[in-house]
Amino acid sequence: PFAQHRERYIEQWKRACLHFHPLEKFSGDNGALYHRSRELLLAHEDKTYPGALIASLSIPWGEAKGDEDLGGYHLVWTRDMVNSATGMLASGDLTTPVRALIYLACSQHDDGGFSQNFWINGDPYWSGIQLDEVAFPIMLAWRLHKNGALRDFDPLPLVRAAAAYLVRQGPATPQERWEENAGYSPSTLAAVIAGLTCAA
């Protein structure tokens, strides 16, 4: 029955928003944008694969993209996922970021790298290598560690494998974040340096 499903849906959303920092007094709109932003980030987490946060529910430039472009941003990009998880962590959510890190640990390749982007089930979509996509999960592990939010999850195997991958493959990246250039990208170098610093 619809009424029961609606009640359960509302109760789940209320429960999901219980443990956030009360930042309403610091905003000009009594926290409306803050609340909607958190809820929007939460809506990007898959319900079948906990922790899988896709980059976007939309396809940018939709008027210029046809139905044959299945991926768009309906994929997991580790960089975008870590940014979303970090935003949730900053808002006081300690569970979503841990789920995201566990999901990334399950998605990591045997050599320590990650697919450029992938479907929520882990199947790769594009096959490029972007070194910052390998560095970002290390930074998330460090942030969770510093916040005492790792619970029983040990990210050390993920961190060691990713750091080793960065050392072997870097510092030049086959692709920078916009897939336009290879080589020494300032944004990629910054992420790799930060990731290796966090790993140390």
Nearest to 200 by CA among 147, 160, 149, 144: 160
Q: List, by residue number, the catalytic residues.
A: 176, 179
What residue type is assigned to position 87 of the chain? G
Alpha-helical runs (H) found in 91-130: 95-107
Cβ(136)–Cβ(147) below 8 Å: no
Q: State the number of CA atoms in the 13 A half-sphere of 80 facing the CB.
A: 19
Contacts for 130 with CB less than 8 Å, ≥ 6 apart: 79, 116, 173, 174, 175, 176, 177, 179, 188
What residue type is assigned to position 143 of the chain? R
Q: How far is CA 23 from CA 4, 29, 146, 161, 191, in A?
A: 32, 11, 21, 37, 29
Adjacent-strand bridge partners of 124 = 118
